[in-house]
Structure 1
Amino acid sequence: MFKTTRPLILAATLAFGWTLPALADVPVPQESSFWSAEVNAGDLPPVSERLPKDPLVVDLAAKGREFGTPGGTMRTMVTRSKDIRQMVVYGYARLVGFDENYNIVPDILASFDNDGNRKFTLHLREGHKWSDGSPFTSEDFRYWWEDVANNELLSPSGPPDFLIVEGKAPTVSFPDETTVIYEWDDPNPDFLQTLAQARPPFIYRPSAFLKQYHENYVDPEDLAAQVDDARVKSWAALHNKLDNLYKFDNHKLPTLQPWLNASSGKKIRHNFVRNPYYHRIDSKGVQLPYIDVVEMEIVAPGLVAAKTNAGETDLQGRGLAFRDASILKKGEAVGNYKTLLWKTGVASQIAIYPNLNYADEVWRDVLRDVRVRRALSLGIDRKTINQALYFKLAKPGAMSVLPASPFYSEDNAQAWAQYDIDMANALLDEAGLDQRDGSGIRLLPDGRPMELIIETAGERQEVENALQIVTDTWREIGVDLVMRPLDRDILRNRVFAGNTMASVWFGWDDGLPQVHTSPAYLAPTDQVFLAWPKWGQYYQTGGEVGEAPDMPEAERLMTLAHDWEIATTDEQRAAVWTEMLEIHADQLYAIGILNGAPQPIVVSNRLHNVPEQAMWAWEPGAHFGVHRPDEFFLVD
């Protein structure tokens, strides 16, 4: 049995430059000039009354960072209206979060106790408040659990999957205002990691706000009037429309993030202003975030690099690719910025996904033959792609975890990843694809030419460039690659429906798994893994939609994922990871091309505390989130 005690939390917390107020004096809070007018007018309490009794104190000196000066507006860009949700990703205020070494530490929570991965006791910060000043207490957890997650109208499928262990929901209790207890009969080792995700599950809600729209708390006539005014079908539709902690598009919905949405409706520019009740301060007493306003502009994808080059952003990663690096470097002096090259955390920068659930039976049988997938991998000249696209700065290899993970294996990383035309041809012949047409293209068992259509999201020029090189080398093994760019949403819907023969995307989001990381994404548990959408649908819907895995190795992956869930030791979990990664290396469900491609990060010369060297990863890390933008500051 493992129990997280205060000394253990302290060790992890101090490693991240955070201090526990009970063990260190809380500095005298300093009022932000941004809110001083409201404080002086009596419209907002002073900062000493807005902070929790035990705020999270950040020792910037311990982290090797500068103490900042509050103020200023930081500019950044996204390419779609719905991507204003990146402010929740970048803000990275989580109950527990990853530190820079990918340890899980308390953040919104004051602390937590983990009793054998079966019982988790969450301790809230006394006096913590939502951005509108309403108390953040265990009532917000109770409201979500009882009135949202277990309300059939609001959550028809019930509580989220990560809370269901061996088919059973947890027992959830709320002993007092600052304590929440989740308890299962069997271990749930994925609980804390899920809370720390880039897209967190939000097992709490601003109850004081949302109760205004819930049938359990409002007069039926008043609620019906609100439903009519909102022009929706029911109170549940109204509640769900307003309950968007992740989408961040309801400016009235209270938040715990460092910045709150100050813009309503669809705009070209959205402003996010500092949360007056944010729970973090530096060790001099200055309430974070340092930056007063984040201005997020929505621009066309093709304009991000050009506008960045012109100096129209202060912090930019999204929308930039390595191919932009040279022009960005040239524009540094005029644009008053610097271009950093961060490592990327995806398992593969470019990966080809043969669809094992493709609707065409002949093609499906061909793609399910591991000899064919191995041959396709052997027919890729990764070194040439690396030279042409990344100036040899990436690492050619199959899709596998990265060297920063304890589960990294060089054998897995290089499995079937050498460029070997002779072996590829031999494997395809062995698979029965030994007949060719007059152009040298192999013939399928039904006589059709082997035209392998790979659909792309059409968003990354590097993907199209890489596939052009693959097109040339695959012709040497008798395979005609046909590339078809589509809109991202259309592509995914086609894959999920079984209408796409093969697609190309990044590799696993989390290429840096640790022993506490669930390997569920290596098993057919989600349609988003583009090689087995129907198998993923089957798991996600409890067998109502999709198809059950019917290949031995895929079935073994499902067994292993369950073995990890019920394991009681780190050694058992590590053994599961090792076997699952070996299966992927052997079976090539996704054909990785290379990884570690540098990600350009453009930082204005007036923006401080952005690390020179860092990791750009969705999971774990939430892109900028793990590097704590609330600690960045502007100097003019």
Structure 2
Amino acid sequence: MPAFAYQQAPSLDAQVKAGTLPSVEKRLPQDPLVVTPFQSVGQYGGTLDLVGLWGDNGHRMRILGNNNLFSFNHTYTDVVPSLATGYEANAEATEYTIFLRKGMKWSDGSDFSAHDIVYYVNDVLGDPNHAGNRPLFFKSHDAARAEAINAHTVKISLKEPNGLFIRQLAGVDGSNMAAFNKAYCSQFQPQFNADVEKLVKADGFSSWREYYEVKCPAHYFTPFYANADRPTMAPWVVETPPSANAPFAEYVRNPYYWQVDTAGNQLPYIDSVKWTFSENKEEMLLRAVAGKTDFQARHIDNAANRPLIFGNAEKSGYKVMLRPETRMNVLVIAFNQNAKDPVKRELFANKDFRIAMSHAIDRWDISETLFAGAVEPYQAAPLEASPFFSEEFAKQYTEFDLKKANQMLDKLGLTKRDKDGFRLMSNGERIRVEALSTTLVKPETRDALEMVKKHWQEVGVMLDIRIVDRSLQNSMRFANDYDVIPWYGDGGVGIIDEARWYMPFSPESTFGLGWYNWSATPDADSAVEPPAAVKKQIDLYNQIRITADKSKQNELMQQIIDIAEDNFYAIGTVNGLPSTVIVNEKLRNVPEGMPESYNLMTPAPMRVGQLWFDKK
């Protein structure tokens, strides 16, 4: 696109005329990312109003984020260029040469280059004592090394083969790869600044590492979104930072943003993004249905809120759009097959026990009570939109059959009961399954769990629900101190990225955390040697990691799913409703059918800079 075709927001004209800001063609890269609008080329101006919680970095990440080297497309079906234009990889999937857009600028006007990525990989993550976030694809300080071939080409060498590396760079963890401006962040490290301790003491911190995590943390943490001095590649930059005492936070146009539309207009169209903070989710909902938000799904989308959301649309000047869920289940219950209690461990590891408990759930009761019959019984299995979908897997053991459940439990020798009618285990103790839940989950998930408790009581199994905060839940999970951690059905699509319920994929695979620990560090105290089927899955996934061939990856993943179907690690309940999104009637370029997904960072990959307000 010729330089003369570029246009900028009128709000920047005065700065350019005064000489305090370079002209638009000097601010853009040689080959900016060209965004094809979903509806039309837009108009400049306006503020995108949102409602939120001041500490909710996940919300900010989804609007200001996805400034990755690569990105998923908005339908979550492919990986596409972003800050990078492409890559080359060796046959062993251990070396990746990544090509950056030439001439990109940080928000302060300094050059974005390969040296910034080298700095993050080598000098931040490469520090053995790094105290901050570490991406899952770089688990150790020596997992990777980076080299700047030139200003716009970086070579990353991996310690171990990883055929999924480019895909991982497109996900939520990949956002940090292009978030660390060397010139700014390095001033807080002693190897680059001999006077850093003076800065530390002047600002009242105890160490440079603590100071660094305030000045240059990963994008998961509040200071990332509150530091106006830190350069960014985001479409909007902080003007009023979020804090516990602030009523709002506001982010204004980045004049060096690296994207344009098909007419050569520099994005974003909208001047600023403003979050107005609420005390809680209930207040957020009331503000949202009163028309105080322009674009909202975060923290207002649950089944009980739908009548209020739909009922106020016309009066408050918004429409309701639907996003397909990538989660395949409202509630997944996975017994801890590595439980500390040897009696429970043996019971939970018995597939027939899990099948019996699945038949003891009245899924249509859950559907009718909580969702007016709009959802169906569904196991923890891939959704129909996934290439790994199997009708048999999705529906196996979903029939509500108390007679069959009781017969199966009797055959397992669980025939004795206490005075309250609960079955006794081999040690004479009541079968008491503690479900370690949290208020963080949606109300319908908590309500479904309460219904399962009643269903299971009918077959003599006690489900004892304990509500704790998320931090305690995580602590108890990592300590392997739980029977069940009820959660959503993540991994309905995008399964290669999120396979927690199909194999010991991550620390979130609560049916076999010890098996996951074994796969990561076999000699760790927390490691539990898995059975042959699980070892086979781990081996298959390791094969996925060493090939960049997508068809081969899918073939191997299908084998993993087949083993999961046969072993039935986790019990599903019902599939979910599409996510509801409040959209201002005047807001344009909002795509239809974009999936709701954490790893996708919905809605960021739609290129939120293309949103605009139709003033007509």
TM-score relative to the length of structure 1: 0.88
Specify which of 418, 426, 438 is matched with residue 407 of structure 2. Answer: 426
Structure 1 match to 2:506? 526
**Is 1:153 matched with 2:129?**
yes
Deviation for aligned residue 1:133: 1.0
Q: 1:408 to 1:144 in 2, by over 3 A?
A: same
Structure 2 match to 1:481? 463
Please give the residue correspondences for 1:320-335 in structure 2 after superposition, counting only pairs within 5 Å.
Answer: 320-335=301-316
- The amino acid across from 2:482 in the alignment is T
1:415-454 residue CA offsets vs partner (Å, 9 max, x unmatched): 2222222222222122221212233321122222223222
Q: What SS is found at the alignment partner of 1:257?
A: coil
Please give the residue correspondences for 1:165-184 in structure 2 after superposition, counting only pairs within 5 Å.
Answer: 169-170=143-144, 172-184=146-158
Specify which of 215, 218, 241 is matched with residue 190 of structure 2. Answer: 215
Please give the residue correspondences for 1:259-298 in structure 2 after superposition, counting only pairs within 5 Å.
Answer: 259-264=236-241, 266=243, 267-298=246-277
Please give the residue correspondences for 1:134-533 in structure 2 after superposition, counting only pairs within 5 Å.
Answer: 134-154=110-130, 160=135, 162-163=137-138, 169-170=143-144, 172-184=146-158, 187-200=161-174, 202-204=176-178, 205-218=180-193, 220=194, 222-246=195-219, 247=221, 248-249=224-225, 250-264=227-241, 266=243, 267-299=246-278, 300-319=280-299, 320-459=301-440, 460-508=442-490, 510-513=491-494, 517=497, 522-533=502-513
- The amino acid across from 2:348 in the alignment is L
Please give the residue correspondences for 1:29-178 in structure 2 after superposition, counting only pairs within 5 Å.
Answer: 29-60=6-37, 63=38, 65-79=39-53, 81-83=55-57, 86-87=60-61, 91-101=65-75, 102-116=77-91, 117-154=93-130, 160=135, 162-163=137-138, 169-170=143-144, 172-178=146-152
Q: What SS is found at the alignment partner of 2:34?
A: strand
Q: Is the 8 A contact 1:99 1:105 kept in 2?
A: yes
Structure 2 match to 1:604? 584
- The amino acid across from 1:51 in the alignment is L
- The amino acid across from 1:108 in the alignment is L
CA distance in 1, matches of 2:548, 2:18: 57
CA distance in 1, matches of 2:62, 2:522: 30
Q: Is the 8 A contact 2:521 2:527 kept in 1?
A: no
Q: Is the 8 A contact 1:322 1:600 kept in 2?
A: no
Deviation for aligned residue 1:485: 2.1
Larger deviation: 224-233 or 531-540? Answer: 531-540
Q: What SS is found at the alignment partner of 1:354?
A: coil
Q: Is the 8 A contact 2:51 2:292 kept in 1?
A: no
Identical aligned residues as a percent? 27
Q: Is the 8 A contact 1:336 1:604 kept in 2?
A: yes
Structure 2 residues not aligned, in runs of 5+: none
Q: 1:525 to 1:66 in 2, by over 3 A?
A: same
TM-score relative to the length of structure 2: 0.91
CA distance in 1, matches of 2:257, 2:583: 25
Q: Is the 8 A contact 2:502 2:569 kept in 1?
A: no
CA distance in 2, matches of 1:28, 1:245: 36
Q: 1:384 to 1:112 in 2, by over 3 A?
A: same
Q: 1:518 to 1:562 in 2, by over 3 A?
A: farther
Deviation for aligned residue 1:316: 1.0
Q: Is the 8 A contact 2:164 2:548 kept in 1?
A: no
CA distance in 2, matches of 1:199, 1:351: 24
1:172-220 residue CA offsets vs partner (Å, 9 max, x unmatched): 33211111122458742110111111232523420011121122222x2
Q: Is the 8 A contact 2:335 2:570 kept in 1?
A: yes
Deviation for aligned residue 1:100: 3.0
1:307-363 residue CA offsets vs partner (Å, 9 max, x unmatched): 211111111111121221111111112211112222211132211122233333322
Deviation for aligned residue 1:168: 7.7
Deviation for aligned residue 1:477: 1.6
Structure 1 vs Structure 2 CA RMSD: 2.6
Equivalent residues, number: 603
- The amino acid across from 1:125 in the alignment is R
Q: 1:163 to 1:502 in 2, by over 3 A?
A: closer
Deviation for aligned residue 1:82: 4.0
- The amino acid across from 1:424 in the alignment is A
Q: Is the 8 A contact 1:415 1:586 kept in 2?
A: no
Structure 1 residues not aligned, in runs of 5+: 1-20
Q: 1:610 to 1:156 in 2, by over 3 A?
A: closer
CA distance in 1, matches of 2:507, 2:54: 23
Q: Is the 8 A contact 1:340 1:612 kept in 2?
A: yes
Q: What SS is found at the alignment partner of 1:576?
A: helix
- The amino acid across from 1:130 in the alignment is W
Larger deviation: 519-528 or 251-260? Answer: 519-528
Deviation for aligned residue 1:226: 0.7
Q: Is the 8 A contact 1:397 1:594 kept in 2?
A: yes
